[in-house]
Amino acid sequence: MKPRLYFLITFAVTCIFWGIGARVSHQPGNDGSHMMWMLPGLLTPFLVSYWMIHKDPEARKQFRDRLLKLKRIRPGLLLTACLLMPLSVLVSVGLSLLLGGSPDQLQLADEFSFRTGFVPVFLLLLMAATFEELGWRGYAYDSLQAVLPQRSADLLFGLLWSLWHLPLILVKDSYQYVIFQDNPWFAINFFVSIIPLGIIISRVCVANQKSIPAAILFHFVINLSQEALNISQTTKCLQTGVLTLAAFGLWYKSGRE
């Protein structure tokens, strides 16, 4: 297992594609063609993961097993985990209301909070969950676990996952770009929130015997939960606190098992 090599290549390739995509997104008359560069960047975690394991028969076998054997999934546990994200949204909205926030946050969102050009946002959210987790769970997380204690691997993965999203802040009309233009502190909150989410996804995946489909489903639920209601960015800051508490509980418990 070579986590340094994996993350070095993944970050470098992603930055190249997304850097070009960011430049194209700011060109006059851009019709969404920047997505031709954004999509390869999105695929990079999986493609690098596949490259790292393709010459190792045992690693390929383990990958196929975690991907195809649905018996690894513990349905009750996964369902409970998937309810965590909608619950964290509702708890955060409740806290916001106590602090004077608008009740309109409980209404379903009329549209997604960002634009993606010719790729439907719903499809992009599904692709992000699928290809990221194929990479993160196909090689990345296991490579960290191979050289670090479990809790350290969880925390470091969360940090690295947060940093991997950083180039998106330069891509016009991306979610990260939109919130940064609104208020830089909201963008900072986004990157901070990724850290506990990374820990939670890792714990959910391990609890389901490292099932990749379980990680994909949970990741997709995260993406949809963040777009379902008209919650404000201030409420999302509160949600980061809620998720941090949940992540700490799972993280602390994992060290005692």
Phi, psi of 108 (to 5 degrees): -65, 140
* Whether residue 58 lies in the annotated active site: no
Nearest-CA neighbor of 18 among 36, 41, 1, 44? 41
- Measured CA to CA, the distance from residue 19 to residue 117 in angstroms comes to 17
Nearest-CA neighbor of 219 among 124, 120, 125? 125
- Measured CA to CA, the distance from residue 123 to residue 70 in angstroms comes to 23
Which listed residue (54, 58, 132, 219) is catalytic? 132
Work out the burial of residue 121: count CB atoms within 10 Å of its CB; fewer than 13 is exposed, 13-18 middle, 19 or more buried: middle
In contact, 199 and 76? CB cutoff 8 Å = no
Which listed residue (34, 111, 133, 165) is catalytic? 165
C-alpha dist (Å) from residue 94 to 103, 240, 243: 9, 14, 15
Q: What positions carry a catalytic annotation?
A: 132, 165
